[in-house]
Amino acid sequence: MLDEPSENRERVGLAHDAYDRHRRYEEDDEDFEIEKDKTQSLSSEDEVYKSMGRTIFEYARVILIGVLVAVLLLAFVVVNAQVPTSSMVSTIPVGSRLFGNRVIYYFSDPERGDIVIFRTPNPADEGELYVKRVIGLPGETVRISAGEIYITTVDGEEFHLVEDYLYEEPNQADLANNQTVVLADNEYYTLGDNRNHSNDSRSWGPVTRDRIIAKVFFRYYPGFRIYGDDD
């Protein structure tokens, strides 16, 4: 049988061992909690990055779709044009920005009075977009006498074209306002509404059908205006 001091020492030793084990358990628990916190922190950061990635992807997708839609619209539905001169005053002010309807001419041909956007045959601006009014149609004869327009149709009937849209009376003495043109089967005669200050078919001839792109239907600068058959 152990004496009292030995028993005490043994009890103290066991108590120390138990204490050490308890501390180790506590340290292990603390390490576990630290690792757990680190894991949770990394997981939260991952979620933030994933959320940011998803947001960026959505914005990029919306922008890409918007660009594609705009490209398709400009290529097949509308055309954007600017009128830098006074040739169409007062119907279209100087510096106007316009939209033209491409679709309408997929299914029909330009009509007399249409304000059209076309690629000019003018050698000085070959291929540039011009905006003028259709005066003569394919197969017709356009006679200009002292600024007045006379049309002979394909049926042989002649009539005087009333032009309420003119900005001012054409200069009767101008040689450009005294000529006769016979249009081919695919040609259109186009003139500006500001007849005395317009570079048009009187100077560089008719416009072929394949050059006519769209019919003007909307002005978005300066101000807003919708153009119809009465303009």
- Phi, psi angle pair for 213, to nearest 5°: -100, -45
Residue 186 CB neighbours (<10 A): 14
Compute the half-sphere exposure of residue 76: CA atoms within 13 Å on the CB side of its CA.
4
Give the containing element (helix H, strand E) for 170: none
Q: Which residues contact 181 (CB under 8 A, 6 or more apart)?
A: 136, 141, 142, 189, 201, 205, 206
* Residue 87 appears among annotated catalytic residues: yes
- Phi, psi angle pair for 17, to nearest 5°: -60, -45
Q: Please give the full DSSP string across 54-100, using - where no structure is assigned.
A: HHHHHHHHHHHHHHHHHHHIIIIIEEEEEE-SSTTTTTS-TTEEEEE
Catalytic residue of the set 6, 36, 86, 87: 87
**Residue 189 Rama label (left phi>0; alpha psi -120 to 50; beta):** beta
Catalytic residue of the set 86, 132, 198, 201: 132
* Residue 43 appears among annotated catalytic residues: no
Cα–Cα dist 10/57, whole Å: 69
Find the largest Cα–Cα distance for the chain: 146
Cα–Cα dist 74/1, whole Å: 106
Q: Are 179 and 144 in contact (CB under 8 A)?
A: yes
- Catalytic residue set: 87, 132
